[in-house]
Structures are given as structure tokens and as C-alpha cells.
């Protein structure tokens, strides 16, 4: 997940621009954080990758 979709997901999970800008250095350098955010979104919307059991 990259580009505009990822930005929308991050904005949806942290709508406060000031907080998001302060945290950006952390999640920009740690892909595990972005993966966790994606997992939260998948759970919230009931989506699962086709490869998941």
C-alpha cells in the first residue's frame, strides 16, 4: 500500500494534522507501523487479503 491510499489511511487513523506531522518521522522510517495501521483498517472494514486463511 503506497501513495494516495496510504496517505488517506494515515489521515483517517490520525485526523489531527499537528499530531500526524509530529509522528511522521516515526512511521516514515518504520514500515511495521504502517502495516499495523493497514491491519486496523482491514479489521474496521471487514477486509482480509485473499491469501489469509
Residue 35: the pLDDT is: 82
8 Å CB contact between 26 and 33: yes
Does position 48 have pLDDT exceeding 80, yes or no?
A: no
8 Å CB contact between 13 and 37: yes
Residue 1: the pLDDT is: 44
Does position 47 have pLDDT exceeding 50, yes or no?
A: yes
Per-residue pLDDT tens for 6-46?
777 777 778 888 988 888 888 778 888 878 877 877 777 77
Q: Where are the alpha helices (DSSP H) in the chain?
A: 4-13, 17-29, 31-44
The model carries a pTM of 0.50
Amino acid at each position: 500500500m503506497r501513495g494516495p491510499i496510504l496517505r488517506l489511511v494515515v489521515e483517517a487513523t490520525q485526523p489531527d494534522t499537528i499530531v500526524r506531522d509530529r509522528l511522521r518521522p516515526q512511521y516514515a522510517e518504520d514500515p511495521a507501523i504502517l502495516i499495523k495501521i493497514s491491519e486496523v483498517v482491514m479489521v474496521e472494514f471487514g477486509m482480509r487479503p485473499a491469501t489469509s486463511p
